[in-house]
Amino acid sequence: MDEFALIRHYFSGLTTVKHGVVLGVGDDAALLRVPSGEELAVTTDTLVAGRHFTEDAPPEDIGWKSLAVNLSDLAAMGAKPRWFTLALTLRLADPDWLEGFARGLRSLAEDSGIALVGGDTTQGPLSITITAMGTLEKGSALKRSGAKVGDLVCVTGTLGDAALALRMRDAEDLPESLSRRLHRPQPRNTAGLALRGKAHAVIDLSDGLAGDLQHILDASKVGAEVRVDQLPLSEDFRALAPVEQRLALQAGGGDDYELCACIAPGDFDAIQKSLDVPLTVVGKITKKKGLRFVDAAGKAVKQDFDAYRHFQ
């Protein structure tokens, strides 16, 4: 099966007719129509075998996560998912692997209402690159640079589940809830849309709260204090994560794909009620630069971990 037949057979079903698709898969380039008065948000992520997933990982999970990490970036900008392209590098065109990969990709694409509009396939070490596009009203994008002194630092969902699942990946009794958080993260696109025009700054938590929140602090030229006792944790995390490792897992582990938002105190209650996922206050933005972790009494907590970095 050559690359053109491969695309037609496994991925043509992802190119559904969507508003704004003038020309999709099958030509030299896609033609897309951005609605009047809106801007285009574009993000790209690459997942590499051996770095982001194991060679023997279920292909359906790889397909899901490849798209999920991009959708999470669109959520952080407050953009509505619309289109994506797929660049797929394969060692071999294995039918069973491709069927599973396409099934996982299709499942999340249908859930989020995003359409495949182009891409490329080639032979080589296994890697997946997706470029996702979304739209939003002009001037309404959520950015990292708007945090204000006095804002509440909030996070959606729970933190640390994926990092704990990675650490326990060889355990026979790993709870399904933790495994899904690692292999099938749920991008918070509905929450991202609800935060638009309300949150001062937002980022998605891919590399860990410590590193990702620092990006907001750098862009906004502010600091933050985070209460370690307020970091939200799931019941399975509470039961299985050693107490002395919880902060490193929750703030440095990464792969949460939750949203971290800076919100004015007076807006918190209304925003919390408008979201489809729990929102927890974990700290506050301060005039003093730097990120500090403190306990319930305000005493500094030693930070002996760092966020994930490539080439580190």
List the chain pLDDT tens, one digit each, 312 residues: 666 677 677 776 676 656 688 877 777 888 999 999 999 999 999 999 888 888 788 999 999 999 999 999 999 999 999 999 999 999 988 899 999 999 999 999 999 999 999 888 899 999 999 999 999 999 999 999 999 999 999 999 999 999 999 999 888 889 999 999 999 999 999 999 999 999 999 999 999 999 999 999 999 999 999 999 999 999 999 999 999 999 999 999 999 999 999 999 999 999 999 999 999 999 999 999 999 999 999 999 987 766 555 435
Q: What is the pTM of this model?
A: 0.93
- Which CATH fold would you assign to the domain 3-137? 60s Ribosomal Protein L30; Chain: A; (3.30.1330)
Indicate where the chain has its CATH 3.30.1330.10 domain(s).
3-137
171, 246 Cβ separation under 8 angstroms: no
| 181 vs 136: CA distance, rounded Å | 28
| 240 vs 230: CA distance, rounded Å | 18
Q: Quick one: how far is CA 235 from the chain centroid?
A: 22
Amino acid, res. 52: H
Q: Count CA atoms within 13 Å of residue 112 on its CB side.
A: 36
Superfamily of domain 152-294: PurM-like C-terminal domain (3.90.650.10)
- Residues found in the chain: 312
- For strands 80-90 and 127-137, give the pairing: antiparallel
Give pLDDT, residue 308. Answer: 52
Indicate where the chain has its CATH 3.90.650.10 domain(s).
152-294
Give pLDDT, residue 161. Answer: 98
| 147 vs 312: CA distance, rounded Å | 28
Give pLDDT, residue 57. Answer: 87
Question: Per the structure block, which two tokens stand in for 6?
Answer: 């491969």
